[in-house]
Amino acid sequence: MEIILKDKIIEAVRILYNSEVPGTLIQLQETRKEFKGDFTLVVFPLLRFSKNTPEKTGENIGNYLLESFPLVSGFNVVKGFLNLIISDRWWIEYFAEMSSGRNLLANCITKCPEVILVEYSSPNTNKPLHLGHIRNNLLGFSLFRILSSCGHKVIKTNIVNDRGIHICKSMLAWKKYADGETPESSGIKGDHLVGKYYVRFEQEYKSQVESLVRTGLSEPEARNSAPLMAEAREMLLKWENGDREVVDLWKTMNSWVYAGFDETYKMLGVDFDKIYYESETYIIGKEIVLKGLEENILYKHDDNSIWVDLTSQGLDQKLLQRSDGTAVYMTQDLGTAVMRQNDFHFDKTLYVVGNEQNYHFQVLRALMKKMGYGWADGLIHFSYGMVELPEGRMKSREGTVVDADDLIKEMKETAKTVSLELGKLADFTGEEKEDIFRKIGLGALKYFILKVDPHKNMTFNPSESIDFNGNTGPLIQYTYARIKSVLRKAEQVGIKPDQGAIAATNPGVKEIELIKLLRKFSDTVSEAAANYSPALIANYCYVLSKEYNQFYHDFSILGEEDFALRNFRIFLSKLTSEVLSSGMWLLGIEMPERM
């Protein structure tokens, strides 16, 4: 419709003002809710042709469209804005086309598809996944589905931080305090077991620092001099030098963690096409750093550490290799980016990483451009906000994080409690109930996180997320299940809706409003892809659910005596369920057929 309207407006300007107006000056937008209309023309750019006031120009163009274009049934002018009302007949014909089984996302397909890597999860192998990782994984996986649905070739990647001083902390603590404890001997999930010893290291280290401070050292001096930290540094150096005992321990403990991660990913419903490991990419990164040093792009300090000077680009001087020859995060990211470009020849890489790393990615992009990697402009930091709890921020090293596995379990239990209280699952088998509890619990968790603008910090409240009456996943799932129930009942009583009868129906205002809302789905998905924002789709699904539930409350569907209207409402319900299912699928949320 927007394309047709633009052509008719260009025609109006040509006829009314004897002028050819370029299409770029025709600015159409959705009419704001407080005004009557469907599409709004911004009149101001056309005043150079009309040589008249905005109000008069809008009125002239509106009258021309009303007289020459039957699909415009009315208009109003508000200052420099012409609000156009599209006839109900067009909306009905459009709905008939939408209901014919065509791809709901066909209009989202981009004309310029790209190869896009989406990096998400990025866990450390010294601790289990937590609530912050959940937001990361859910955002990354949803971006994959949204961008793929718009025609891009999207590769899901994960970079596992499996090396570095923090990994050595867990290894050292296990070696000193575990007495051979394993996941099998303890019954503790592998990633949880390793995380236990990361916390133990920090506890012992903190105790050593406090003792040294009491002897007269400053806290920075004490932290640097603590014996435990010195042992961890020594272990890191041994690891990079290939010490057999250290490497074997590293492989063993990492295998425990990977097995634990896989369980959590499966529960969350996320996966990856390619997993990179920093224990491999840092080697490539070190080679790149040495080459940059040879080419005088980088420089060496007196202590043999290697740096880059980015002050001319408004950044600072950045360490790329320590004086003892060990690599830093930036070195690893250099290697990872180059490996990925060689593997996939990507146009863009989206790094789904928290906003505390904003500066890091500015430096990475600037560094790579300085080193001659022209494709570095395609490195995009998808910066998302932190997740907090009502009681405050989480801290891994103090063991005060919300564990992902525990949270998933809690959400399932909460879903079970709420569902049983509603008393609507009496005729379900035990297996069916458990599947519904899982879908509702995870749906609540995923939706509550994804409905928030990803760039904003958020507070996660489990009890709010599972409310069946608010802006929540369970409300949308319940709306979908309600529609599926209507469709099943229609089939049971022998009602066979007729696709061909849709166009001949004269529905009411509420039906037309629902059609208008359904039409916005593809535009919402396109906007979500352009802005990397699953929140747009989440909140669209909520608005659609709310509008349908109001319609369901106010109007009879199967009980409607007028055959044509009943037929129309069945198809309207069916299409609503398909749009809700498609929208929630883009968010990685499963929809129960019954609730």
Residues 564 and 444 in one domain: yes
**Contact present, 477 and 483 (Cβ < 8 Å):** no
pLDDT at 424 over 80: no
In the structure, what pLDDT confidence band is assigned to residue 170 with cuts at 50, 70 and 90?
very high
How many C-beta neighbours within 10 Å does residue 338 have? 19
Domain that holds residue 451: 410-586
**DSSP strands (E only) in 236-373:** 274-277, 299-300, 306-309, 317-321, 348-354
In the structure, what pLDDT confidence band is assigned to residue 399 with cuts at 50, 70 and 90?
very low
Residue where one domain finishes, among candidates 69, 86, 103: 86
**Across the chain, what does the average pLDDT equal?**
94
Residue 100 counted as domain residue: no
Q: Can you give the pTM of this predicted structure?
A: 0.91
Residues 79-100 have pLDDT tens digits of 999 999 999 999 999 999 888 8
Distance, in Å, from the CA atom of 3 to the CA atom of 9, rounded to the nearest integer, reads 10
The phi-psi region of residue 242 (left if phi > 0; otherwise alpha if psi is between -120 and 50; otherwise beta) is: left
Which of 60-69, 101-110, 211-220, 360-369 shows the lowest per-residue confidence on average (mean pLDDT)? Answer: 101-110
Mean of pLDDT values over 277-299: 96
pLDDT at 27 over 60: yes
pLDDT at 103 over 70: yes
Q: What are phi and psi of 217, to 5 degrees?
A: -75, 150
In the structure, what pLDDT confidence band is assigned to residue 468 with cuts at 50, 70 and 90?
confident
In the structure, what pLDDT confidence band is assigned to residue 230 with cuts at 50, 70 and 90?
very high
pLDDT at 25 over 90: yes
* Strands 458-459 and 274-277, sheet pairing: unpaired
**Contact present, 541 and 580 (Cβ < 8 Å):** yes
Residues 562 and 521 in one domain: yes
> Pick from 570, 393, 541, 565: which is nearest to 475 by CA?
541
CATH number at residue 31: 3.30.1360.70
Mean of pLDDT values over 193-206: 96
Tokens of residue 264, six digits: 């959590």
Residues 373 and 467 in one domain: no
**Cα 476 from chain centre:** 18
Residues 32 and 181 in one domain: no
Which of 43-52, 102-111, 340-349 shows the lowest per-residue confidence on average (mean pLDDT)? Answer: 102-111
Mean of pLDDT values over 133-155: 97
pLDDT at 397 over 70: no
Residue 570 counted as domain residue: yes
DSSP string, 528-539: HHHHT-HHHHHH
Residue 77 counted as domain residue: yes
Mean of pLDDT values over 169-183: 97
pLDDT at 101 over 80: no
Overall domain count for the chain: 3
**Contact present, 160 and 277 (Cβ < 8 Å):** yes
Q: Between the CA of residue 226 and those of 149, 175, 203, 349, 450, what are the distances in Å?
A: 53, 18, 12, 40, 43
pLDDT at 394 over 70: no
Collect all residues with Cβ–Cβ distance below 8 Å to 399 and sequence separation of at least 6.
Answer: 195, 199
Residue 374 counted as domain residue: yes
pLDDT at 393 over 60: no
Reduced to 3 states, what is the DSSP secondary structure of residue 99?
Answer: coil
Residue 106 counted as domain residue: no
At 374 the pLDDT is 95
Residues 391 and 418 in one domain: no
Residues 216 and 329 in one domain: yes
At 400 the pLDDT is 54
Residue 66 counted as domain residue: yes
At 392 the pLDDT is 52
Give the percent of the chain with pLDDT over 90.
Answer: 86
The phi-psi region of residue 312 (left if phi > 0; otherwise alpha if psi is between -120 and 50; otherwise beta) is: alpha
CATH number at residue 210: 3.40.50.620
Residue where one domain finishes, among candidates 342, 371, 398: 398
Mean of pLDDT values over 397-411: 78
At 501 the pLDDT is 87
